[in-house]
Amino acid sequence: MPNPSVLRAAVTVSALLLTSLLAGCSDDEAEDEDLTRQQLDWKDCPAPSQAQGGGNAPSPLPNGEEWQCATLKVPRDWDDPDGDTVGLAMIRARASGDENRRIGSLIFNFGGPGGSGVTALPAFGDDYAQLRTRYDLVSFDPRGVGRSAPVLCENDQRLDAFFQQDATPDDAAERTELLENVQDFNEACEKNSAKMLPHVRTTDAARDMDLMRQVLDDDKLHYFGISYGTELGGVYAHLFPANVGRAVLDAVVDPTQTPEQGALGQVRGFQRALDNFAENCVSKAEDCPIGDSAQDVKDRIAQLLKDLDSEPVDGIFPRELTQTAATSGIAQALYSQEFWDYLTEGLDQAYDGNGQILMLLSDTMNGRKTNGEYSNLAAANVAISCADDRPRYDAAHVERRLPEFRKASPLFGDYLAWGMVGCVDWPVPGAADHPDVSAPGAPPILVVGNTGDPATPYEGARKMAQALGKGVGVELTYEGQGHGAYDSKNECVRDAVNGYLLDGKVPAAGTVCR
């Protein structure tokens, strides 16, 4: 999940890029139609657009069937439901089991905000094969994302320059440059995406999902939300408690926190994950190539980042690995324990002046393909976050808060603290200090927290369960590593989630999986 306030650059989108990405995504004039009665025209899926991340069309499902895609019409402005519409890109895999046992559609949001569900669901589809026995698996690009009227701000060349710039200023000149870049970026977003910026809030996406439920002919919304998708699921439950079916929230956003509190929580979460990574490296039978002790591992990383601040090393030609790129690459690797070996190798190489692996990890974080093209992940991430979040933090505020952020993590503190300036000049006011997810009257919602999660610290799961309300939020804890629990393939977690979604068996509140 890219830092919503750090992903900034001071440029506008080139005319060619803007034209190509907007093809097929323009507003449709409303024709006084009842959007709940629209028929989805499901067809074989095309190759993903650049805004979705590019690549090839999804491979056939194990039974030989093709993934199917369609476009759902939704009001651009939910306060004017009879006005212009935009199209939401959708994808589905039909249920594989007995039609008589089919429950309905299971709608996924994989997080971000800004991630394309149309590309994510096929990529992770095998993980949800058991759920497909009784559900159509469905996902979508939320408004402002991918093929759904994408927010556009800058071109690929300027994004390359941005992700190498100094995002942790040490003096007045660097601070001024960072703030100017933020202002220029926000102006570019307004210039290129003004129509969509007021209409990409999480509440808008939640209303889209309820329309989606109706068009899919489901009485209830069955839902699987991951990371930011947990916030979207909580907001949906607040707005439509009577329409909630079986819902799972995994890698849970704390809905009670302001953006500043959330950023500080992430600082602590990434530091905790880094501590676990360092301990794991030195605990192996073979020597840890990046340190003799856990503290030594962390000290050497800190020294590397300090050195890169003044002297970048070779990255992926012609780009160099800067302090900012290295920090985002390290953060990306901490999202999953499966990446820890890559992080070890990347750090070992970086100490010898080769930054390729850390830069590849950074590119993954930022939505960059090997051909140099970026998805619109960064632009959508910023647009949705700034439209949702009311607080605006200026440089003076950040400087006052730096000591606490640095105390929480000497490595990630500055990086995430300075990220808070990103919404200062945003052209659309933020909606609230934090989302409202109270959902009295909703059925049980399973809330799954991972104790080693860096991006959505596990404390958020309990806060979400409490905020949903008594009898609604049911907390399950996974004592593991990485971002999320279900994709860890832990059998205890899988059995609990599958048992709930497939058979309606609600786990006992407070269940712990190891």
Q: Annotated catalytic sites, by residue? A: 227, 453, 483
299 Cβ partners below 8 Å, 6+ apart?
291
Place of tokens 């709608």: 107
The token pair at 276 is 């676990």
Three-state secondary-structure class, residue 93: strand
76 Cβ partners below 8 Å, 6+ apart?
27, 83, 84, 85, 86, 149, 195, 196, 199
Three-state secondary-structure class, residue 275: helix
What DSSP letter does each residue of 187-245 carry, written as one string? HHHHHHHTTTGGG-SHHHHHHHHHHHHHHTT-SSEEEEEETHHHHHHHHHHHH-GGGEE
What DSSP letter does each residue of 334-386 carry, written as one string? TT-GGGHHHHHHHHHHHHTTB-HHHHHHHHHHHTB-TTS-B-SHHHHHHHHHH
Helix (H) or strand (E) holding 447: strand 445-452
- Burial of 285 from C-beta contacts in 10 A (0-12 / 13-18 / 19+): exposed
Half-sphere exposure in the Cβ direction for 263 (13 Å, CA): 28
| Residue 114 region by backbone torsions, left for phi larger than 0, else alpha for psi between -120 and 50, else beta | left
Q: How many residues does the chain have?
A: 514
Largest CA distance in the chain: 69
Hey, what amino acid is at 78? W
Place of tokens 């300027």: 158
CA distance 23 to 362: 29
Q: How are beta strands 43-44 and 68-75 bridged, if at all? A: antiparallel
